[in-house]
Structure 1
C-alpha cells in the first residue's frame, strides 16, 4: 500500500476497499468495526488497552499468570482443532426483555484466524434501546471456545464496551445440524441495565446467500410472527429437562 493512497484514507478523501481495510486493521491489531468508530471513542478504546498492558505483563511473569496463560492457550488450541464444522453464518433468536413478547432475530458469523475463533454479532435495536444514540445496529465481537461439545462465546459491544455477554450452546451431537439451542446472559437496554438470561437458538445459514440479504432479515419480531419457525419458537418457549422451577435451562438439540 503506497503512502499517497494511505494519506487519502487519513484525510477522508478516499475509502479503502474491504481488502485494504483488512490489511490496515491487521497491521495495527484492531477490528474493522473498531477502526471506523468516531475518533474520541476509538482513542478511549485504545487507551484502555494501553492501561491494561502493564498489569498483564506482571501477571505473565508470575507462576499463576503463566499457568493461566497456558490454560487459555490450550483451550484455544483444542477449540481450533474441533470447531471447523461450526464456522459460518447464522441467524440467532432470543426473547428480548426490552420488548415483552418480541424476539430479536440477529446475525452471527463465526470465523477462525490464526488458531483463534472469533464471533461477530449484528443486532437491530429500536432507537430508544440502542446503547449509544445513532447506533440502531449493534455490533459485538468476541472469542469462541468449543469445550466438551459446548460452544461458549464471550463478546462485547463495539460501540459500547459496557455491554458484555456470554452464550453457551449445545454442540451438534448427531452429525449435521441446522439449529443449535442454548442460553445467553447479558444486560437489558441502556435505561434499566438489568442482567437477564434467555434461551437462544442459532439457525445455520447457507454460504451462498449474500451478506446484505442476511443482514436485511434482522430485527424485532412478535413471537407468533411467521418469520419465527415453529421449531425455533418451541425451543425458545420449552424448558430443558431439569425439574426445578428455580433453574433456567436450555432445550436440548
Structure 2
C-alpha cells in the first residue's frame, strides 16, 4: 500500500500550490509528510483518516493502484467544486500566484512616503501593513489621511480618510502591489518596489501610479519610498503620523526627501537602502 499511497498523495498534492500549504492545512509535520510521499513511512490509521478527510477520499482508496485512483478522483468532483462555481478571476490569477516568490521577509508595517498626487508639492505619509495569509497569499492594507482645508483643525470631521486593500506579488526581483480604495470603490493604484537584498530591511524605493483625488481625477505617477517599521508596532502612535507634510518639514528625513525628488525616469532609479 505504501508504494501506491506515495504516488496517490503526490497526485492529490499537485492540486495545491505547495507541499508546505498541504502540511500547514493538515497540521502535519513537513518532514514526516515527506516520508509518506517518498514511501519511507506509512501514516498511522488516525493520520490516514485525517488525510483522507482533507482530500475528500476514503482511507482505503489512498492505497488503490495509481491508475485506478487517478480515474477515481478524476470522476469525483471536489467538495469545493460541488459547493461553488469556478471563479474566473481566481483562475486568471492562479498561474501568477504559483509563479510568484515568497514575500515572508517583507511582511510587517511600513510608512509609505510619496509625492501627493492631489496636492502637488506635498509629501503624503501613509501606513501600510503587508501580511501573509494561511493559504500563502500576500495581502496589504494602506491607510491614508489628509487634512481638510476648512477651519476646526484637530476634529475628526476635518480629516479625509482612505483605506486601500490589495495583493502583492514578487516577480523577477520586483514587488508588484495592486490595490483599490475600499471606502469609495472608485479607484485603483499600482506600486512597484525594488526589494532589499541586505539582511536588514530599512527602505524600499519604487514608483506608484494612480489618480488624484481632485475633481478631474488626473492620472499620475510618482516616486515612492517604503520605510520598514517592524512586524509589531504601536499602530495608534504610527497612525498619528499619517498626514500631509510640506517638503521642508523637519520630520521628513533628508534622505527620503532626496529620493522623492529624483526624476522618475533615469538609470539607477531603484537604488535600495
TM-score class, shorter-chain normalisation, is 0.5 to 0.7
CA-CA distance at 1:230 after TM superposition: 1.2
Q: CA–CA distance in 1 between the matches of 2:253 and 2:211?
A: 26
1:75 matched to 2:96? The reply is yes
CA contact (8 A) 1:183 1:250 kept: no
Deviations 1:140-163 (A, max 9, x none): 000110111211110000111111
CA contact (8 A) 1:149 1:172 kept: no
**Partner SS state of residue 233, structure 1:** helix
Q: Which ranges in structure 1 are unaligned for 5 or more consecutive residues?
A: 1-56, 244-248
Deviations 1:183-235 (A, max 9, x none): 00010114120000000000000344311111111100011111110111111
Describe how 1:68-217 pairs up with structure 2 within 5 A: 69=91, 72-79=93-100, 82-113=102-133, 114-127=135-148, 136-217=160-241
CA RMSD in angstroms comes to: 2.7
Give the greater-gyration-radius structure (CA).
Answer: 2
Question: Is the alpha carbon distance of 1:77 and 1:134 closer, same or farther for their aligned partners in structure 2, counting shifts above 3 Å?
Answer: farther
Q: CA–CA distance in 2 between the matches of 1:127 and 1:177?
A: 34
Equivalent in the alignment of 1:22? none
Deviations 1:41-92 (A, max 9, x none): xxxxxxxxxxxxxxxx6885xxxx9xx936x22322343x521001000000
CA contact (8 A) 1:77 1:115 kept: no
TM-score by length of 1: 0.64
Equivalent in the alignment of 2:19? none
Equivalent in the alignment of 1:227? 251
Q: Which ranges in structure 2 are unaligned for 5 or more consecutive residues?
A: 1-84, 151-156
Equivalent in the alignment of 1:14? none
Q: CA–CA distance in 2 between the matches of 1:221 and 1:214?
A: 15
Equivalent in the alignment of 1:252? 271
Q: CA–CA distance in 2 between the matches of 1:120 and 1:137?
A: 13
CA contact (8 A) 1:122 1:138 kept: yes
CA contact (8 A) 1:199 1:250 kept: no
Q: CA–CA distance in 1 between the matches of 2:110 and 2:86?
A: 39
Q: CA–CA distance in 1 between the matches of 2:242 and 2:195?
A: 24
CA contact (8 A) 2:178 2:191 kept: yes
Q: CA–CA distance in 2 between the matches of 1:152 and 1:98?
A: 23
CA-CA distance at 1:178 after TM superposition: 0.4
Q: CA–CA distance in 2 between the matches of 1:250 and 1:162?
A: 30
CA contact (8 A) 2:142 2:165 kept: yes
Q: CA–CA distance in 2 between the matches of 1:163 and 1:241?
A: 24
Equivalent in the alignment of 2:62? none
